[in-house]
């Protein structure tokens, strides 16, 4: 139990701190310098390409491209990699592992009366790599973008003010919820004298989460009032003027080339 | 000139609960008014009404002679003039850095450049420039409070609505807030403060006791000479007042210094 709880707390601490402190967004790296609108579009294009890939070698190439981008954006590669792979076991466990045994093909080995196939293994590896690569791009994006810029980018795509307000409120709400949850976990640790049994400690945790949600719900309303009180009017204040520079042009040309070449190659046109 | 005229105001929450009934109040420009009452008395609700975050279910509120309406909610002039310090600083602090949070209001009012400049000035004034680039996530309670105060004062309000500004603060930070309110009083700003803090109440020109309705209106001295009111407001009677009552003295000293003066006056007399 202690292990599970500690891990949960660590992951929560680590992700909230990293996401909300926007620590890496202030570095002067490649992706940080990109126009947020362009970055959003490129991300969508890259992820869509990765998800459509069937060739493991090309997926690996895209994975390394993500690492190169991370380095060029001055992100700590170890932290970046950790953050990507922390999510992978869940996906792998749920989808990839069963498929090893379910995809028909040549037998690789037998275990507990189940037959694993080479085809299944290939598919599981491809799937896992694809997820990891797509997640890498998503995390590259979040680690290098400021919330304000994302909101401004949304506004420039003519997303209605109400949608942006709701998104902003959600962001703030999640922030608060994570904080309350961590506070609850910390205070619980402080108060916990002896070790509780598995069932009791989960019951305790359940109570805490319940109380946290109630508290967060009451505060949620105040979050909106606090914004309104300080002059918020459902309109986004452009925090920075968007202007495309040399980096933007260079990045879009390279991205477009990479994607087009990949598509041409996989479709057998090259 | 009257800043607020609250006329027969009642407020019912969407849940059907009447939080306030038939409230009448007047607040003059430059006055410091304390509002006291037990938990659930409707104090916070009253401040929300005064900040045009919610509108009365019945009755009306005039601000500088003009009724508060739906339009007031998003009127930048009103938002600049009136600042609301929320009880919980967590609902006010969300940006990546303290500076951005403090600039949130000013940027909405005056645009980016002036807003950021104003925010920096305010941080300097409060002696928390060193927090400018920090993430609000990791601040201490007192630091958060100061940051949230800067969020309000950076808008240069003429009217300050403060919800329990000294709660959860240690003595040094309580003194800090107290000094700040003294400063505003000297600058002839209008201050409405909800509080249980005796030292804050003493600072007020007038006190209202609230419990769904107005139970009392008068000076702090009048309030402390009426134990039954103090009890209904769930306030602590200052020890020195208790002592004077015990001794059968008619005076109600508001501080130890004052009590000393009264007593030495008594002793000098033959
Ligand atoms: N969002 C809400 N929805 C429904 N009822 C509410 C809401 N907020 C407050 N109330 C109710 O309205 C009444 C007044 O609440 P309010 O928060 O104004 O009291 P308060 O005097 O500020 O109390 P405290 O000293 O605890 O801060 C309470 O009975 C409370 O339960
Ligand atoms: Mg309250």
pLDDT of B56: 96
pLDDT over 70 (residue A270):
no
Yes or no: say if B112 and A41 are a contact pair by the CB < 8 Å rule: no
Name the closest residue on chain A to residue B44, using Cα atoms: A222
Yes or no: say if A114 and A86 are a contact pair by the CB < 8 Å rule: no
Yes or no: say if B37 and B9 are a contact pair by the CB < 8 Å rule: no
- Is any atom of ligand 1 closer than 6 Å to the C-beta of B50? no
Q: Which of B103, B88, B22, B3 is nearest to B60 (CA)?
A: B22
Yes or no: say if A113 and A106 are a contact pair by the CB < 8 Å rule: no
Contacts with B156 from chain A: Cβ below 8 Å: none
A147 interfacial to chain B (CB closer than 8 Å): yes
The reply to whether A166 and A153 lie within a common domain is no
Q: B268 — phi, psi (to 5°)? A: -65, -35
Contacts with B111 from chain A: Cβ below 8 Å: 237
- Is any atom of ligand 1 closer than 6 Å to the C-beta of B204? no
Q: Of A23, A146, A231, which is closest to B108 when you measure between CB atoms?
A: A231
Average pLDDT, chain B: 89
Choosing from B19, B53, B91, B210 the residue with most ligand 1 atoms within 8 A of its CB, the one to mutate for a pocket test is: B19
Choosing from B11, B12, B44 the residue with most ligand 1 atoms within 8 A of its CB, the one to mutate for a pocket test is: B44
pLDDT over 90 (residue B4):
yes
The reply to whether A145 and A186 lie within a common domain is no
pLDDT of A189: 61
B23-64 pLDDT tens trace: 999 999 999 999 999 999 999 999 999 999 999 999 999 999
Q: CA dist B156 to A243, B109, B149, B151, B181, Å?
A: 33, 11, 11, 10, 14
Yes or no: say if A194 and A1 are a contact pair by the CB < 8 Å rule: no
**Banded pLDDT at B208 (limits 50, 70, 90):** very high
Range of the domain at A211: 1-26+160-239
- Is any atom of ligand 1 closer than 6 Å to the C-beta of B138? no
Instruction: Give the percent of chain A with pLDDT over 90.
Output: 8
**How many angstroms away from the CA of A190 is the closest CA of chain B?**
18
pLDDT of A147: 77
- Is any atom of ligand 1 closer than 6 Å to the C-beta of B44? yes
Among A3-7, A123-127, B75-79, B132-136, the minimum mean pLDDT is found in: A3-7
The reply to whether A235 and A263 lie within a common domain is no
pLDDT of B187: 93
Catalogue the E-assigned strands of A91-180.
Answer: 107-111, 114-117
- For the record, the structure tokens of A269 come out as 């046109």
pLDDT over 70 (residue A237):
no
Q: What gap in Å lies between CA A138 and CA A67, rounded to an integer?
A: 12
- Tokens 């319940």 belong to A210
Angle at A64 (CA atoms; ends A58, A68), nearest 5 degrees:
140
pLDDT of B67: 96
B88 interfacial to chain A (CB closer than 8 Å): yes
Can you give B137-200 as a three-state secondary structure string?
HHCCHHHHHHHHHHHHHCCCCCEEEEECCCCCCCHHHHHHHHHHHHHHHHCCCEEEEECCCHHH
pLDDT of A21: 67
pLDDT of B164: 93
DSSP-derived secondary structure for A4-39: HHHHHHHHHHHHHHHHHH--GGGS--HHHHS-HHHH
Among B14-28, B107-121, B182-196, the minimum mean pLDDT is found in: B107-121
Give pTM, 2 decimals.
0.76
Burial of B109 (0-12, 13-18, 19+ CB in 10 A): buried
The reply to whether A136 and A188 lie within a common domain is no
pLDDT over 90 (residue B159):
yes
A141-185 pLDDT tens trace: 888 888 777 777 777 777 787 787 787 777 777 777 777 777 766
The reply to whether A6 and A52 lie within a common domain is no
pLDDT of A193: 46
The reply to whether A147 and A173 lie within a common domain is no
How many A from CA of A241 to the centre of ligand 2? 40
Query: Would you call B96 and A226 a contact, using CB atoms and an 8 Å cutoff?
Result: no
Query: Would you call B94 and A22 a contact, using CB atoms and an 8 Å cutoff?
Result: no
Domain count across chain A: 2
- For the record, the structure tokens of B79 come out as 């938002």
* Residues facing residue B83 across a β-bridge: B160
Closest ligand 1 atom number to CA of residue B210: 21
The reply to whether A231 and A267 lie within a common domain is no
Kindly report the protein residue whose alpha carbon is nearest to atom 17 of ligand 1.
B44
- For the record, the structure tokens of A1 come out as 């139990």
Instruction: Give the percent of chain A with pLDDT over 70.
Output: 77
Longest dimension (CA), chain B: 69
Q: B148 — phi, psi (to 5°)? A: -70, -30
Contacts with B53 from chain A: Cβ below 8 Å: 225, 228-229
pLDDT of A1: 46
B139 interfacial to chain A (CB closer than 8 Å): no
B98 interfacial to chain A (CB closer than 8 Å): no
Query: Would you call A237 and B135 a contact, using CB atoms and an 8 Å cutoff?
Result: no
Longest dimension (CA), chain A: 68
The reply to whether A64 and A166 lie within a common domain is no
pLDDT of A181: 74
The reply to whether A65 and A152 lie within a common domain is yes
Q: CA dist A244 to A44, A237, A241, A247, Å?
A: 19, 19, 10, 8
The reply to whether A16 and A132 lie within a common domain is no
Mutation target among A171, A224, A230 for the B interface, most CBs of B within 10 A: A230
Yes or no: say if A229 and A18 are a contact pair by the CB < 8 Å rule: no
Angle at A235 (CA atoms; ends A141, B85), nearest 5 degrees:
95
A97-127 pLDDT tens trace: 888 887 888 887 887 878 888 888 888 888 8
**DSSP three-state, residue A111:** strand
A27: how many CB neighbours lie within 10 A of its CB? 15
Choosing from B45, B50, B85, B211 the residue with most ligand 1 atoms within 8 A of its CB, the one to mutate for a pocket test is: B45
pLDDT over 90 (residue B9):
yes
- For the record, the structure tokens of B147 come out as 């940051």
How many A from CA of B213 to the centre of ligand 2? 15
pLDDT of B60: 96
B11 interfacial to chain A (CB closer than 8 Å): no
Q: What gap in Å lies between CA A41 and CA A31, rounded to an integer?
A: 13
Yes or no: say if B224 and B238 are a contact pair by the CB < 8 Å rule: yes
Q: CB-based contacts of B180: which residues, under 8 Å, 6+ apart?
A: B149
**Banded pLDDT at A241 (limits 50, 70, 90):** low
Can you give B76-90 as a three-state secondary structure string?
HHHHHHEEEECCCHH
Instruction: Give the percent of chain B with pLDDT over 90.
Output: 56
Q: How many beta-carbon pairs under 8 angstroms link A with B?
A: 85
**Banded pLDDT at B65 (limits 50, 70, 90):** very high
Report which listed range, A190-199, A229-238, B29-38, is most confident: B29-38
Query: Would you call A146 and B96 a contact, using CB atoms and an 8 Å cutoff?
Result: yes
Average pLDDT, chain A: 79
B97-123 pLDDT tens trace: 899 889 988 988 888 889 999 999 999
Yes or no: say if B192 and B198 are a contact pair by the CB < 8 Å rule: no
DSSP-derived secondary structure for chain B: -EEEEEEEEEEE-TTS-EEEEEEEEEEETT-EEEEE--TTSSHHHHHHHHTTSS--SEEEEEETTEE--GGGGG-HHHHHHEEEE-S-GGGT--SSSHHHHHHHHHHHHH-HHHHHHHHHHHHHHTT-GGGTTS-GGG--HHHHHHHHHHHHHTT--SEEEEESTTTT--HHHHHHHHHHHHHHHHTT-EEEEE---HHHHHH-SEEEEESSSEEEEE-HHHHHT-HHHHHHTTPPPPHHHHHHHHTT-----SSHHHHHHHHHHHHH--
pLDDT over 70 (residue B160):
yes
Kindly report the protein residue whose alpha carbon is nearest to atom 25 of ligand 1.
B39
Kindly report the protein residue whose alpha carbon is nearest to atom 30 of ligand 1.
B40
The reply to whether A191 and A97 lie within a common domain is no
The reply to whether A222 and A106 lie within a common domain is no
Closest ligand 1 atom number to CA of residue B37: 21
Closest ligand 1 atom number to CA of residue B194: 22
DSSP run (H or E) holding A72: helix A56-72
Contacts with A227 from chain B: Cβ below 8 Å: 104
Q: Which of B40, B60, B37, B38 is nearest to B50 (CA)?
A: B60
pLDDT of B197: 86
């Amino acid at each position: 139990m202690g292990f599970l709880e500690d891990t949960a707390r660590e992951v929560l601490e680590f992700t909230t701190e990293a996401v909300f402190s926007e620590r890496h967004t202030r570095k002067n790296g490649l992706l940080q310098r990109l126009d947020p609108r362009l970055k959003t579009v490129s991300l969508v294009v890259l992820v869509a390409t990765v998800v459509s890939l069937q060739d493991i070698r090309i997926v690996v190439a895209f994975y390394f491209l993500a690492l190169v981008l991370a380095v060029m954006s001055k992100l700590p590669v170890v932290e970046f990699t950790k953050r990507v792979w922390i999510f992978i076991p869940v996906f792998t466990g749920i989808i990839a592992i069963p498929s090893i045994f379910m995809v028909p093909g040549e037998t690789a080995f037998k275990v507990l009366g189940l037959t694993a196939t080479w085809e299944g293994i290939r598919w599981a590896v491809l799937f896992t790599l694809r997820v990891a690569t797509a997640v890498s791009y998503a995390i590259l994006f979040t680690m290098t973008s400021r919330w304000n810029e994302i909101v401004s980018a949304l506004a420039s795509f003519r997303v209605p003010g109400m949608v942006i307000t709701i998104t902003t409120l959600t962001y703030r709400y999640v922030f608060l919820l994570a904080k309350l949850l961590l506070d609850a976990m910390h205070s619980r640790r402080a108060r916990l004298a002896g070790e509780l049994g598995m069932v009791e400690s989960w019951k305790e945790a359940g109570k805490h989460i319940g109380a946290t949600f109630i508290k967060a719900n009451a505060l949620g309303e105040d979050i909106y009032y606090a914004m309104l009180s300080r002059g918020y009017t459902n309109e986004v204040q452009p925090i920075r003027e968007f202007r495309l520079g040399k980096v933007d042009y260079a990045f879009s040309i390279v991205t477009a080339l990479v994607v087009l070449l990949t598509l041409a190659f996989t479709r057998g046109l090259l | 000139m009257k800043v607020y005229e609250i006329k027969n105001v009642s407020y019912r929450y969407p849940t059907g609960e009447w939080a306030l009934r038939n409230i009448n109040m007047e607040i003059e420009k430059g006055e410091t008014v304390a509002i006291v009452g037990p938990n659930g008395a409707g104090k916070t609700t009253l401040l929300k009404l005064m900040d045009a975050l919610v509108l009365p279910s019945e009755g009306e509120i005039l601000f500088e002679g003009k009724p508060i309406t739906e339009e007031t909610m998003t009127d930048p002039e009103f938002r600049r003039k009136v600042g609301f310090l929320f009880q919980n600083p967590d609902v006010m602090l969300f940006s990546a850095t303290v500076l951005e949070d403090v600039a949130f209001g000013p940027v909405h009012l005056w645009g980016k450049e002036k807003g950021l400049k104003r925010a920096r000035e305010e941080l300097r004034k409060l002696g928390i420039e060193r927090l400018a680039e920090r993430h609000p996530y990791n601040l201490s309670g007192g630091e958060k409070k100061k940051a949230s105060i800067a969020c309000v004062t950076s808008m240069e309000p003429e009217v300050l609505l403060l919800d329990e500004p000294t709660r959860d603060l240690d003595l040094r930070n309580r003194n800090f807030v107290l000094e700040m309110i003294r400063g505003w009083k000297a600058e002839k700003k209008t201050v409405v403060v909800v509080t249980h803090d005796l030292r804050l109440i003493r600072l007020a020109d007038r006190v209202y006791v609230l419990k769904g309705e107005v139970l009392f209106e008068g000076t702090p001295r009048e309030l402390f000479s009426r134990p039954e009111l103090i009890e209904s407001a769930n306030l602590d009677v200052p020890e020195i007042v208790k002592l004077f009552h015990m001794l059968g003295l008619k005076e109600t000293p508001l501080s130890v210094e004052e009590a000393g003066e009264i007593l030495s006056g008594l002793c000098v007399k033959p």
